Structure 1
């Protein structure tokens, strides 16, 4: 009986996958930031990893495009429940997005700047439709956006990435400088950073409400 000839790995049956940058980015979004790599995206598309480089420059390029895609597709808040709920909804959605993609947001990406600017315009126009003067709407949206972006950046640096139950080295060094009562209060922030951020947002919105009740 002749020896069995080893089988060579041949091409996969069926048509070759038709790739596009849009399909590759969509696959990356569906995988989520924790799972994205050139290999996992290629596997999800049934393609060879090298074939993706015809449409993307690098993994960083893919991650930036995925974040831009998610940001562009995020629905605007509903204006039907009033200006305060409108800004709170935007803050909540934006915070979730920023924390989920912490470290991946391409801050200087031209495409993301266009998307963020367009969203800023839409939010301002939404407030204007609720009776805000445009200047006041710009002030309100800018205050909320800055607060949320700054808060998300702080949250991402509060804890040790290797041990989330512990403060980051920088935060631990800061805690050591505080008096006992201040340290205890700050440790409370570390235990519930989102709730702390929301309290700060409430403070801003309360001030905006008071400002609207007593206009200049």
Structure 2
């Protein structure tokens, strides 16, 4: 009896079945932004009180994990069946598009502990896709991580220069600091920051450099991240 009572206290709240679904909750989080939502905001979005959410999720972090798993389910990696250099280009684009599709995704990847565990189910098949395309097995995870990080961190940086249509204070700050930076660097960064194709202008050159290095036979140290044995 004591064990049962302790379990009830530590686990999710008991009571009547919630009148909303996990999908509705996750949809609300993804609309608000994975990096900035509060449980109260989500509850209002689905029309319930905040305590009701804890019948499905033990904490905000628990809900973030559920959202990451749902993102992996909704936008799975699909192999383009091309040679590994082209496949790495597609991997970069895939990572970028995840960040574009789900506001706050990039920041969450760098603030939530071990977010990759929510994508682990697909890792073996992804690795197999790349090794089948000719990428050396001993560096496949390193290459995926390196290129994914490049695309995601650039997106994270660019996001700092984006402001909502009603966020006039933020827009003024961006413009003011842009003008100062242009003077300091004796150049105009506007073309890059406000490019109609930021991925092409900011991400692709770095990805091409990484791929060229791999094609030239440059390899990470044997003890580097992602080595497969």
* Aligned positions of 1:77-92 closer than 5 A: 77-92=78-93
- How do residues 57-206 of structure 1 correspond to structure 2 at under 5 angstroms? 57-58=58-59, 61-99=62-100, 100-102=102-104, 105=108, 107-110=110-113, 112-116=115-119, 122-161=125-164, 162-163=166-167, 167=171, 169=173, 172-173=176-177, 175-179=179-183, 182-184=186-188, 186-192=189-195, 195-206=197-208
Q: How far is 1:209 from its partner?
A: 4.7
Deviation at 1:89, TM superposition (A): 2.9
Q: Deviations over 1:116-156 (max 9, x none)?
A: 45655554432211111123423421221111111121121
- Larger CA deviation: 201-210 vs 88-97: 201-210
Q: Report the Cα distance in structure 1 between the residues aligned to 2:210 and 2:61, rounded to whole angstroms.
A: 39
TM normalised by structure 1 equals: 0.66
Please identify the structure whose Cα radius of gyration is greater: 1
1:51 aligns with 2:52: yes
3-state SS, counterpart of residue 78 of structure 1: coil
Counterpart in 2 of 1:13?
Answer: none
Residue pair 1:79, 1:126 contacting (<8 A) in 2 also = no
User: Over aligned residues, Cα RMSD in angstroms?
Assistant: 3.8
Superposition TM-score, scaled by structure 2 size: 0.63
Which one of 30, 34, 58 corresponds to residue 33 of structure 1?
A: 30
Q: Which residue is 1:6 aligned to?
A: none
8 Å Cα contact 1:91-1:145 kept in structure 2: yes
**Against the structure 1 CA distance between its residues 82 and 176, is the aligned structure 2 distance closer, same or farther, given a 3 Å change threshold?**
same
> How far apart, CA to CA, are the structure 2 residues paired with 1:163 and 1:81?
43
Q: Is the 8 A contact 2:84 2:130 kept in 1?
A: yes
- Is the partner of 1:135 in helix, strand or coil? coil
- Any idea what SS the aligned residue of 1:131 has? coil
Look up the SS of the partner of 1:75 in the other structure: coil
Greater relative contact order (Cα 8 A, min sep 6): structure 1 or 2?
2
Offset from partner CA, 1:72-114 (integer Å, 9 cap, x none): 5421131413324422333233223224231772645457231
Rate the CA distance shift 1:24–1:107 in 2: closer, same or farther, 3 A: farther
1:155 partner SS: helix
For structure 1, the residue ranges without an aligned partner over 5 or more in a row are: 1-16
